Amino acid sequence: MRVAVGWSMAAVLVVIGAAGTSRGQQYADYGSNGTAGSPILEVWKQQRRMELRQGDRMLREFRVVLGTDPRFAKQYRGDNRTPVGRYYISEKHVSQYHRFLGLSYPNVDDAERGYSRGLIDAGEWADVFLANLSGGAPPWRTPLGGRVGIHGFGDRPFLTVDWTEGCIAVRNEDIEYLYDVVPVGTAVVINE
């Protein structure tokens, strides 16, 4: 299996060299301070807090609710944990929870951990890598889980108890604001 990944990695490196810098690659090393023109969302899980910043300015702060087991980073489908790491908004749509900003979970680091633990195979690793490289949505049906995002409460009342399956929930009025001002591709940093 390791040989297959070695060959996949070599093929991916050829693609990277031919493709140059892509949107996903730009966000792979995105700093937590952002740049003057680019918004960034940063979450602190222990504080149940999220900030929207642009450059050095904080535009807005939000209270958040997390997965039912928020203490550690997401490892696999069904663990009810909110991921930790650097992601980007990969899609936006209306959902049962009002609005949904899909995150690029799993990212390349998550795929590396999953592969080394035997949770995903070389093909799944490559699919995650290429999706993150292109700035698209990664595959969400792997053993690592997926369809993690930032969403509203839908018809639920605002609760301070963690109730999601790993997503980050904010008030419906907050997700409406974010949905309107945060474009696909926005960097999202989730800290423990």
Q: Which domains does the chain have, with CATH numbers?
A: 2-191 (2.40.440.10)
Q: What confidence score (pLDDT) does residue 158 get?
A: 75
Q: Is the pTM of this model over 0.85?
A: no
Token output for 67: 């997965």
Instruction: Give dist(CA 32, CA 123) in Å, integer.
Output: 31
Q: What confidence score (pLDDT) does residue 160 get?
A: 78
Q: What confidence score (pLDDT) does residue 164 get?
A: 94
Q: What confidence score (pLDDT) does residue 96 get?
A: 87
Distance, CA of 135 to chain centre: 11
Q: What confidence score (pLDDT) does residue 148 get?
A: 96
- The answer to whether residues 83 and 159 touch, using CB atoms and an 8 Å cutoff, is no
What separation in angstroms does the CA of 77 have from each of 9, 66, 68, 80, 146?
A: 25, 15, 13, 8, 7
Q: What confidence score (pLDDT) does residue 36 get?
A: 62
Parts of the chain with a pLDDT under 50: 1-8, 10-11, 13-34
Tell me the Ramachandran region of residue 80: left when phi exceeds 0, alpha when psi lies from -120 to 50, beta otherwise: left
The 3-class secondary structure across 150-169, one letter per residue, is: EECCCCCCCCCCCCECCCEE
Q: What confidence score (pLDDT) does residue 70 get?
A: 87
Q: What confidence score (pLDDT) does residue 71 get?
A: 87
